[in-house]
């Protein structure tokens, strides 16, 4: 081993740093170290221990190893190095994404001990005015094992009260441990899910972990029991000491999914998502790194965690756009999952009722095995979809009479309805009918959404908000009115039309508070008649057996978009929302309101077979030479003026001119100004991914050498989701 080590830092720098290994220290790739950096100490990760010592330069020594084992084991390290290269993102930032915040900041890789308090004195010794302290002490007296401090504060007592009692020596710390006691029964005692014949047929086609790498695309219509199949797969294939990863788009929205997994696997289930605090993250990270045989259910970044015994990966709702990170390290968790399975020689299952065109194309190319599950579980039938032309119909808050009538019938027969609106707030625009003024965001090229509940005008693209006014801010006219539909407005119309039925709104505003989604689900789960009104959130993997009618308020948003992915996304959303209908005994009905009922896309939607639509869309992509037939990357620029950004991209353009690569732009982005930054883009569309990758690397290196004028930033987005 050489005496020099190369180290990556958690900084957006496309370079690494060399340090000397002090006598007696041995280091391996992936290991965390403390190093002097500038005038400070920094946390770094060892990248290479086989570095030739440069001549004539003195190199500072590593201060210490944070621990004597690599935080990133070899397989994870290789995965992230590959991702750094594929997505052209600096290695340091990629590697550090796999660490929990505590470890990025250089804290020890150990869980904080949990402080448990126990009563040591009697409440009678306290003065009668110390009511809360007395109550706390009395409560603790009944708990001979002591109570963790966190539970005490959760029970409504304060740290100050704990301290006061401790100072009086009426309570004491009993033990300090990590509090990680396994309490539920062992997994082996839980039963295996019973599959229907169609599910069994699908299950029999899935490769087992002992077969090595294999990617399967599980196309299972909504309600076909994909989750049931995952459970069965893991139950019958995963050995006791092995780990598995289940990626889901959003956990908080679907607590029932985690509950279903816990039902079969008990404490073997651990979760990973954005709502965990630093301590919880570290604790879960350690379990994974230590090779504990967990099944991790997690969102996007879970795919980067340092598993050491990973033997199966499942990506649920693989088409979901939340798998693609939209800023910084712009990776696709789905694509990394497939590569990870390949590195690891284990199976990966991509499941969806509406597979992405990328994955479906891979299946057609025989790279993935296509498994079909085209029957709903438990005798439920697929819903029937019909279009409701609203061109010359009077609308009330966006709802047509036939749609309201259908809802009434649904409620009257004791069932539930779901109304899908693609915008939260009351209305997407406030407009003056005298002077034509529409209220725009002062910082973005967008209009402000009117939120009537909070009397606010909000930008959905930056954090700008202003108080709503009754008059036109420009001409003072009072003909100042909301235009278009938001969830709040539809909720109001429904509440007025069906005063005796609960109307439940589900959008980012109504679910912000912790536990609110559970409350909403509880209302729905009573099975009593109700109407759900909400955004895309409602489309995500929920199982509402009582819903028999779905109304789509307006399907036209994506029909004429310039984004080449818009038709695919529109179909996916409409089918996913439709899929919430008729999962129980009564068959479901879907009404799609539109002004373009003769549009071919909507016509095929009614026939309902997603793969037929996907075939059509793929043919269009091939004609237009778009992904997945080509490899795409976008250079994005952000600057204080549009001029600066376009100039930078203009200077990149000649570097990108190469055989087999089309260069489009530079052009302003769809929303050209966002939070006062002007955004533009240069699109590279290549016939060969390897060549594109090499070219991108070359361009990035050249850009790194440059001193940029003014406040201009550039970034690279490989396999962009948005153009």
Return the exposure string of 440-474: e unless at least 16 CB atoms fall within 10 Å of the residue's CB, then b.
Answer: ebebbbbbbbbbeeeebbbbbbbebeeebeeebee
Closer by beta carbon to Zn ion, 218 or else 441: 441
CA angle at 114 for the pair 300 and 166, rounded to the nearest 5°: 140
Closer by beta carbon to ligand ADP, 70 or else 541: 541
DSSP string, 486-508: -HHHHHHHHHHH-TTS-EEEEST
Q: Is 464 a residue that touches Zn ion (CB under 5 A)?
A: yes
Residue 691: contacted member of Zn ion, ligand ADP, none (CB under 5 to 8 Å, by partner type): none
Give dist(CA 358, CA 693) in Å, integer: 18
**By C-alpha distance, which of 549, 267, 272, 510 is closest to 383?**
549
Give the nearest distance from C-beta 640 to Zn ion in angstroms: 16
Q: Could you say which DSSP state residue 684 is in?
A: E
**By C-alpha distance, which of 535, 581, 541 is closest to 415?**
581
Closer by beta carbon to ligand ADP, 136 or else 244: 244
Q: Which stretch in 345-353, 456-464, 633-641, 701-709 sits in contact with Zn ion by CB under 5 A?
A: 456-464
Q: Is 444 a residue that touches Zn ion (CB under 5 A)?
A: yes
Give the residue ranges of the annotated binding site for Zn(2+).
432, 435, 441, 444, 459, 462, 472, 475
Residue 377: contacted member of ligand ADP, Zn ion, none (CB under 5 to 8 Å, by partner type): ligand ADP
Identify the H or E element spanning 704.
helix 689-705
Closer by beta carbon to ligand ADP, 113 or else 378: 378
Residue 225: contacted member of Zn ion, ligand ADP, none (CB under 5 to 8 Å, by partner type): ligand ADP
Closer by beta carbon to Zn ion, 429 or else 462: 462
Closer by beta carbon to ligand ADP, 324 or else 583: 583
- Residue 215 has φ and ψ, to the nearest 5°, of -110, 130
Give the nearest distance from C-beta 198 to ligand ADP in angstroms: 9
Q: Which stretch in 147-155, 390-398, 435-443, 660-668 sits in contact with Zn ion by CB under 5 A?
A: 435-443
Q: Is 432 a residue that touches Zn ion (CB under 5 A)?
A: yes
**By C-alpha distance, which of 144, 148, 141 is closest to 180?**
148
Residue 694: contacted member of ligand ADP, Zn ion, none (CB under 5 to 8 Å, by partner type): none
Closer by beta carbon to ligand ADP, 583 or else 589: 583
Applying CB under 6 A, the residues found at the interface with ligand ADP are 194-196, 199, 220, 222-228, 377-378, 543, 583
Helix, strand, coil abundance in the chain, percent, nearest 5: 35, 25, 40
Q: Can you tell me whether residue 53 is helix, strand or coil?
A: coil
- The answer to whether the beta carbons of residues 487 and 460 sit under 8 Å apart is no
Closer by beta carbon to Zn ion, 390 or else 444: 444
Residue 26: contacted member of ligand ADP, Zn ion, none (CB under 5 to 8 Å, by partner type): none
Residue 194: contacted member of Zn ion, ligand ADP, none (CB under 5 to 8 Å, by partner type): ligand ADP
Closer by beta carbon to Zn ion, 393 or else 437: 437
Residue 441: contacted member of ligand ADP, Zn ion, none (CB under 5 to 8 Å, by partner type): Zn ion
Give dist(CA 61, CA 56) in Å, integer: 16
- The answer to whether the beta carbons of residues 9 and 17 sit under 8 Å apart is yes
Alpha helical stretches, state H, 461-565:
487-497, 516-525
Q: Is 441 a residue that touches Zn ion (CB under 5 A)?
A: yes
Out of 474, 508, 691, 713, the only residue in the binding site for Zn ion (CB under 5 A) is: 474
DSSP string, 615-636: HHHHHHHHHHT-TTSSEEEEEE
Q: Could you say which DSSP state residue 378 is in?
A: G
Residue 226: contacted member of ligand ADP, Zn ion, none (CB under 5 to 8 Å, by partner type): ligand ADP
Q: Could you say which DSSP state residue 307 is in?
A: -
Q: Is 333 a residue that touches Zn ion (CB under 5 A)?
A: no
Q: Which stretch in 170-178, 334-342, 367-375, 436-444 sits in contact with Zn ion by CB under 5 A?
A: 436-444
> What x/- string results for residues 252 through 291 when contact with Zn ion is judged by CB under 5 A?
----------------------------------------
- The answer to whether the beta carbons of residues 219 and 371 sit under 8 Å apart is yes
Closer by beta carbon to ligand ADP, 196 or else 283: 196
Give the nearest distance from C-beta 483 to Zn ion in angstroms: 13
**By C-alpha distance, which of 162, 169, 160, 164 is closest to 122?**
169
CA angle at 600 for the pair 597 and 606, rounded to the nearest 5°: 70
Joined tokens for residue 293: 């045989």
Q: Could you say which DSSP state residue 79 is in?
A: H
Q: Is 459 a residue that touches Zn ion (CB under 5 A)?
A: yes
Out of 443, 528, 653, 697, the only residue in the binding site for Zn ion (CB under 5 A) is: 443
Q: Can you tell me whether residue 534 is helix, strand or coil?
A: strand
Q: Is 37 a residue that touches Zn ion (CB under 5 A)?
A: no
Return the exposure string of 218-257: e unless at least 16 CB atoms fall within 10 Å of the residue's CB, then b.
Answer: bbbbbbbbbbbbbbbbbeebbeeebbbbbbbbbbbbbeeb
Give the nearest distance from C-beta 606 to ligand ADP in angstroms: 21
Residue 196: contacted member of Zn ion, ligand ADP, none (CB under 5 to 8 Å, by partner type): ligand ADP
Q: Which stretch in 144-152, 212-220, 431-439, 561-569 sits in contact with Zn ion by CB under 5 A?
A: 431-439
Q: Is 475 a residue that touches Zn ion (CB under 5 A)?
A: yes
Which residues contact Zn ion by CB under 5 A?
Answer: 432, 434-435, 437, 441, 443-444, 459, 461-462, 464, 472, 474-475, 477
């Amino acid at each position: 081993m050489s005496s020099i080590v190369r180290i990556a830092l958690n900084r957006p720098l496309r370079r690494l740093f060399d340090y000397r290994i002090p006598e007696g220290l041995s280091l391996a790739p992936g290991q965390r170290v403390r190093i002097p950096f500038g005038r400070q100490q920094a946390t770094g990760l060892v990248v290479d221990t086989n570095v030739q010592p440069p001549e004539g330069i003195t190199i500072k020594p590593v201060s210490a190893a944070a621990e004597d084992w690599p935080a990133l084991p070899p397989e994870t390290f290789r995965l992230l190095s590959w991702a750094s290269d594929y997505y052209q993102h600096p290695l340091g930032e990629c590697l550090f994404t796999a660490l929990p915040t505590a470890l990025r900041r250089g804290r020890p890789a150990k869980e904080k001990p949990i402080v448990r308090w126990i009563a040591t004195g009697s409440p009678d010794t306290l003065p009668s005015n110390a009511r809360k302290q007395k109550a706390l002490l009395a409560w603790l007296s009944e708990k001979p094992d002591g109570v963790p401090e966190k539970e005490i504060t959760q029970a409504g007592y304060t740290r100050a009260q704990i301290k006061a009692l401790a100072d009086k020596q009426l309570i004491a710390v009993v033990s300090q441990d990590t509090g990680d006691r396994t309490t539920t029964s062992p997994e082996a005692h839980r039963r295996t899910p019973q599959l229907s014949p169609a599910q069994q047929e699908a299950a029999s086609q899935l490769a087992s972990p002992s077969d090595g790498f294999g990617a399967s695309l599980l196309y299972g219509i909504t309600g076909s029991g994909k989750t049931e199949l995952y459970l069965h797969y893991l139950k019958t294939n995963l050995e006791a000491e092995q780990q598995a990863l289940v990626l889901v788009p959003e956990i908080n929205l679907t607590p029932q999914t985690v509950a279903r997994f816990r039902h079969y696997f008990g404490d073997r289930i651990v979760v990973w998502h954005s709502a965990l605090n630093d301590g919880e993250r570290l604790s879960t990270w350690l379990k994974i790194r230590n090779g504990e045989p967990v099944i991790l259910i997690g969102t996007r970044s879970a795919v980067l965690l340092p598993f050491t015994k990973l033997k199966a990966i499942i990506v649920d709702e693989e088409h979901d756009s939340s798998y693609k990170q939209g800023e910084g390290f712009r990776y696709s968790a789905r694509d990394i999952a497939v590569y990870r399975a390949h590195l690891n020689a284990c199976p990966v299952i991509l499941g969806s009722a509406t597979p992405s065109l990328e994955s479906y194309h891979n299946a057609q190319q025989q790279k993935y095995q296509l498994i079909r599950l085209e029957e709903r579980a438990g005798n439920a039938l697929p819903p029937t979809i019909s279009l409701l032309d609203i061109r010359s119909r009077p609308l009330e808050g966006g709802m047509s009479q036939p749609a309201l009538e259908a809802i009434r019938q649904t409620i009257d027969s004791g069932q539930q309805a779901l109304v899908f609106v693609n915008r939260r707030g009351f209305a997407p625009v406030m407009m003056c009918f005298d002077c034509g003024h529409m209220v725009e965001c002062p910082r973005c090229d967008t209009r402000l959404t009117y939120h009537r509940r909070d009397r606010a005008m909000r930008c959905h693209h930056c954090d700008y908000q202003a108080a709503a006014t009754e008059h036109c801010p420009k001409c003072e006219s009072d003909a100042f009115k909301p235009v278009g539909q938001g969830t709040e407005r539809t909720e109001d119309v429904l509440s007025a039309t069906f005063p005796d039925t609960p109307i439940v709104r589900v959008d980012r505003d109504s679910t912000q508070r912790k536990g609110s989604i559970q409350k909403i689900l509880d209302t729905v789960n009573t099975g009593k008649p109700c109407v759900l009104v909400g955004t895309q959130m409602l489309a995500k993997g929920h199982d509402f057996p009582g819903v028999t009618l779905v109304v789509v308020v307006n399907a036209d948003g994506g029909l004429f978009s310039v984004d080449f992915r818009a038709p695919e996304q529109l179909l996916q959303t409409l089918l996913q929302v439709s899929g919430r209908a008729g999962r129980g005994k009564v068959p479901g009905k879907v009404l799609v309101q539109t002004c373009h009922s003769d549009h071919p896309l909507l016509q095929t939607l009614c026939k309902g077979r997603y793969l037929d639509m996907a075939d059509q869309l793929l043919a269009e992509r091939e004609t237009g030479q778009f992904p997945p037939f080509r490899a795409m990357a976008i250079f994005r620029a952000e600057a204080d003026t549009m001029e600066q950004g376009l100039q930078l991209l203009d200077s990149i353009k000649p570097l990108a001119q190469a055989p087999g690569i089309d260069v489009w732009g530079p052009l302003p982005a769809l929303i050209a100004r966002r939070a006062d930054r002007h955004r533009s883009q240069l699109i590279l569309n290549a016939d060969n991914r390897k060549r594109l990758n090499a070219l991108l690397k070359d361009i990035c290196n050249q850009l790194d050498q440059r001193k940029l004028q003014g406040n201009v930033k550039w970034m690279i987005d490989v396999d962009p989701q948005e153009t």
